């Protein structure tokens, strides 16, 4: 199992990873039971439908996103959130460039 990162980090020193066309991810903080990730999208960027064993809560920091969780679809804007339970299919399409903050429990070991 991956150990936790140091107690403090400065986002200006954290790397960005391109994870798709118009989509970049920055791991902000994590420990064995929790992870916080920033995902920046250009308009048209897609977080493809997928599922995983982690609970996920996503906060829309900025932009506009078409979000699908299970069979339900909504357009979310800054300040909105969604919850994806373990093994529930979910994904997003960025309608206006923006940033999502994803939290996962337990941490996504596949991200580090």
Q: List pLDDT tens digits, range 46-92.
A: 999 999 999 999 999 999 999 999 999 999 999 999 999 999 999 99
CATH 3.40.390.10 given to domain 15-105: no
Predicted local distance difference test score (pLDDT) of residue 16: 96
Question: Once rounded to an integer, what is the mean pLDDT over residues 17-37?
Answer: 96
Write down the domain spans for the chain: 15-105
Cα–Cα distance for residue pair 87/36, rounded to 1 Å: 19
Phi and psi dihedrals of 13, rounded to 5?
-100, 0
Percentage of the chain lying above the pLDDT 90 cut: 88
* Residue 87 CB partners (closer than 8 Å, separation 6+): 51, 52, 53
Q: Is the pTM of this model over 0.75?
A: yes
**4-18, 28-42, 46-60, 91-105: least confidently modelled range:** 4-18
Query: Does pLDDT of 3 surpass 80?
Result: no
CB atoms within 10 A of CB 49: 12
Cα–Cα distance for residue pair 110/112, rounded to 1 Å: 6
Query: Does pLDDT of 99 surpass 90?
Result: yes
User: Sign of the C-alpha dihedral, residues 11, 14, 15, 16?
Assistant: negative
Predicted local distance difference test score (pLDDT) of residue 60: 98
Cα–Cα distance for residue pair 107/69, rounded to 1 Å: 20
Q: How far is CA 56 from CA 29, 41, 66, 83, in A?
A: 15, 18, 17, 6
């Amino acid at each position: 199992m991956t150990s936790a990162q140091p107690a403090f980090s400065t986002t200006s020193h954290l790397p960005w990873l391109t994870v798709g066309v118009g989509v970049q991810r920055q791991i902000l903080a994590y420990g064995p039971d929790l992870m916080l990730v920033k995902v920046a999208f250009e308009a048209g960027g897609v977080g493809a439908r997928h599922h995983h064993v982690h609970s996920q809560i996503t906060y829309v920091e900025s932009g506009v996103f078409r979000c699908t969780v299970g069979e339900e679809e909504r357009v979310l804007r800054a300040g909105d959130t969604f919850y994806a339970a373990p093994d529930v299919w979910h994904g997003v399409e960025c309608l206006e460039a923006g940033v999502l903050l994803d939290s996962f429990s337990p941490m996504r070991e596949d991200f580090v």
